[in-house]
Structure 1
Amino acid sequence: MNNEPVALPQALASFDALWSPRVVTRVNDYDVRVAKVAGEHVWHVHEHTDEFFLVLSGELHIALREPAGERTVTLGRSSVFVVPRGTEHKPYSPDGAEILLFEPTGTLSVGDRHDEVPAHVDATTGHALTPAATRPDTRPDPGDA
């Protein structure tokens, strides 16, 4: 676990792969993950855990299959949403987004049950960030001048 501050812009700039989350840090038994997303993920369900989404940039849609029927929630920048455990869902982003997720360590990105995983979706429990990606940018913000 990293015991130094992590700058999310640097963490996100350290990789290009879509639907391939990186573990930024851990909180108790949970991973804090960041991911770049565009296009569609896959219908899937996490049987034993909720899934927390925070949109850092762009817009994320999450299609949900609930007992009352299907619906889609739309999350803009700085919006959060929790998909309850056992709810089938499919995230997608027509124009791309950057997101932060909280999930128990070891949770597979495509859930416990899922449709066939397309080639552009990484079925992973999260990848480690490179050491350089965890260092905060200490340069002054030009907007602070």
Structure 2
Amino acid sequence: MQFKKYLVPLGCAALLVVAHRASGWPGVAAVGGGLLMWLLLHVTRLMTVLKRAAHRPIGHVDSAVMLNAKLKPGVTLMHVIAMTRALGERISDEGAEPEVYRWTDNGLSTVQAEFNHGKLVRWQLTRPDPEATPPVPDPTSPAP
């Protein structure tokens, strides 16, 4: 499983070698420009997701039930942050594997997600007892 992190750099290097053999340095410049554009697209997506998450409270999601329905095994933490538009509240210790994060909605329903090497392994939806606690009002919604 660890060999996957070497595939992209090896593939990029192979593309550059093939471009050099096919058309020399102009081919390397063309392929290098394409690879740079690909890298910039990924960095732009990362920055956009984090910019949206910066304006939301940590660990908040609009609907924990909808998040639970959208989650699939193997999605990345960045994909989950993009779906929730908020950083998850870290439950696990810093640097510990697996990483555990929690998102909570206004009704105090929570989704606790476990990530192993950045990929979603399992998650659990927890809903509060309806008689135990009243729901917390949404601070962003207009007052009645």
TM-score of the superposition, structure 2-length normalised? 0.23
Q: Which one has a bigger Cα radius of gyration?
A: 2
The structure in which a higher percent of residues are strand is 1
TM-score of the superposition, structure 1-length normalised? 0.23
The structure in which a higher percent of residues are helix is 2
Larger RCO, structure (CA 8 Å, separation 6 or more): 1
